[in-house]
Amino acid sequence: MDSNPLRDGLRIEPAPGPTILVIFGASGDLTRRKLLPALYRLARGQRLPHAFSVIGVARTPFTDDDFREQFRQSLREFARVEAADDVADSLSARLHYIHGELDDAALYDRLREKLKAIDENSGVLFYLAIPPSAYGTVSGRLGDAGLSTQAAPATWRRLIVEKPFGHDLDSARALNALLHKHFEEDQLFRIDHYLGKETVQNLMVFRFGNGMFEPIWNRRYIDHVQITAAETVGVETRAAYYDSVGALRDMVQNHLLQLLTLVAMEPPISFTAESVRDRKMDALLAAQPLDEGDVVRAQYGPGWVDGKEVKGYLQEPGVAPNSTTETYVALRVSLDSWRWADVPFYLRTGKRLPKRTTEIAIQFKRPPLEIFRRARVSSVAPSLLIVNVQPDEGISLRFEAKIPGTRMQLAPVMMHFRYGTTFGGEVPEAYETLLLDAMIGDSTLFARHDFTEAAWALISPVHERWSASRESRIPAYEAGEWGPAEADRFLATEGRRWRTL
């Protein structure tokens, strides 16, 4: 166990009561890559409930032993745990498996029996790690089988729903309506894994746990905000999903709008799920409809990334040869509010960019009076606050300083806070935080139904416009470049530049 005096006491860690986690899609990719390794790390940190079991559910005809073997493999592959240790052994003994068709009522009878046999007085967390097309079926079957009913506080029933949550406004509304047939809103936990990232949570602490930033966090002092989520990977093996979705719906509708609202929200009155999510909702509702000129899209062509030659998007396996799916998107979002009027939020995300990095940069206004002009300083660089979401988690402040010497010369300098150096130890993975929060019943870091709908309401018209335009090609950028020239011009027309990362 890590022990670092700086870390101790920083977290208020309520312990979850007895829990059975039921994973639908237990033989799938998400379970192997993320969920099982996250459970192992939680167990290692002694943060799982004392009474805890997992029931894997899927079509694959596994036995309990097969599922346990899959757990071992996933630890080797995705958690770099080579040899089984006591923690893995003890968790493995608590894994169970049942198989069947997700729309077969008999499967849910078997599930009910299994839950009873393990502990009928336990809370149950259902996890939908399955294709979105099956969300309605499973939640409906759970409801019909009486498995969504909470008889007593200790026997709570909760449902975690993975992304994508719908593919446009209508489908998101329909999905919310389906889920609400059997589950109350406070039983629903819609995952956006960005909210589980440590730096993203810290954004709230930074803003509302300090007195010095909030007074300048507004249009009077801030010129604009840039939010970047850059990836070096291409579409990988996910063309079947990605080619019908694209960057706008894959990254902006959820992750980037979550980051935007955390920067833009008013202070909540308390750190509770409803208060925080109400204020985020206000911020999102202030976003003005996106016009054609507010969005740039593009697709990567062949190029070089990390010293390796890579294919263009259209040459990737599984991508339609004439696909116009965007792998890069840049947007200008304007918030009509007293705090943010005339402060643009620029968002950009793309695959096959030169570097994997996610950051939020708050650029402050220049001083109103350039009193150092006589020092032949052509222009004073604006102060900048950078939240490094990943991979080098931390916060940096750039400001002007005098270069030592007899002459008055200025240069921008940096002040850094780095998680790694300050706190040491491992930063928990988003899925650890989110699984634990759902077991505790804290939905602060999950998307509420109205947020998912408002996010789609903002994004869907852009996508509909693209679909209607029937363009046979969209702008291209070379893999390994920072997006298309159009995205640079887009900011240049407003006298601004994307940050060089």
Return the active site residues: 255
- Distance of alpha carbon 62 from the chain centroid: 31
3-state SS class at 37: helix
Say if CB 195 and CB 224 are below 8 A apart. Answer: no
For ligand BG6, which is the closer residue by CB, 324 or 358? 358
Q: How many residues bind ligand BG6 (CB under 6 A)?
A: 5
Q: Is residue 429 part of the contact set for ligand BG6 (CB under 6 A)?
A: no
Cα 131 from Cα 136, distance rounded (Å): 10
Q: Which is nearer to ligand BG6, 148 or 323 (CB)?
A: 323
Nearest alpha carbon to residue 187 among 126, 276, 131: 126
C-beta closer to ligand BG6: residue 217 or 242 = 242
Q: Which is nearer to ligand BG6, 140 or 354 (CB)?
A: 354
Q: Give 1-14 as a DSSP string.
A: ----TTTTTTS--P
Residues 24-83 that bind ligand BG6 (CB under 6 A): none
* Choice between 163 and 355, CB closer to ligand BG6: 163
**Site residues for ligand BG6, window 130-169 (CB under 6 A)?**
163
**Identified binder of ligand BG6 from the candidate list 223, 250, 429, 453, rule CB under 6 A:** 250
CB of 496: closest distance to ligand BG6 in angstroms? Answer: 25
Site for ligand BG6 in 173-202 (CB under 6 A): 193
Among residues 303, 298, 317, the alpha carbon closest in space to that of 354 is found at 303
Instruction: Determine if 432 is a binding residue for ligand BG6 (CB under 6 A).
Output: no
- CA–CA distance from 41 to each of 48, 389, 438 (Å)? 9, 21, 16
Percent of the chain as helix, strand, coil, to the nearest 5:
40, 20, 40
Minimum separation from the CB atom of position 250 to ligand BG6 (A): 5
State the minimum distance, in angstroms, from the CB of residue 238 to ligand BG6: 7
Q: Which of 262, 274, 279 is nearest to 441 (CA)?
A: 274
Under 8 Å between Cβ of 125 and 20: yes
Q: Residue 227: which of 380, 339, 390, 416 has the closest Cα?
A: 390
Q: Is 159 helix (H, G, I), strand (E, B) or coil?
A: strand
Q: Distance (Å, rounded) from C-alpha 42 to C-alpha 14? A: 14
Say if strands 19-24 and 52-58 run parallel, antiparallel, or are unpaired. parallel
The residue among 155, 57, 60, 151 whose CA lies nearest residue 106 is: 57
* CB of residue 231 to ligand BG6, shortest distance in Å: 5
Residue nearest to ligand BG6 according to CB distances in the complex: 250
- To ligand BG6, the closest distance from the beta carbon of 164 in angstroms equals 8
Nearer to ligand BG6, 142 or 305 (CB): 305
Among 124, 45, 125, 31, smallest CA distance to 75 is for 31
CB of residue 281 to ligand BG6, shortest distance in Å: 21
Residue number with CB closer to ligand BG6 (233 or 375): 233
* Closest distance to ligand BG6 from the beta carbon of 166 (Å): 14
462: left (phi over 0), alpha (psi -120 to 50) or beta: alpha
Q: Are 319 and 239 in contact (CB under 8 A)?
A: yes
Is residue 231 close enough to count as binding ligand BG6 by CB under 6 A? yes
CA distance 274 to 127: 22
CB 278 within 8 A of CB 450: no
Residue with Cβ nearer ligand BG6 (197 or 280):
197
- Is residue 298 within 8 Å of 484, Cβ to Cβ? yes
Task: Please say which residue, 87 or 387, places its beta carbon nearer to ligand BG6.
Answer: 387
Residues that bind ligand BG6 (CB under 6 A): 163, 193, 231, 250, 358
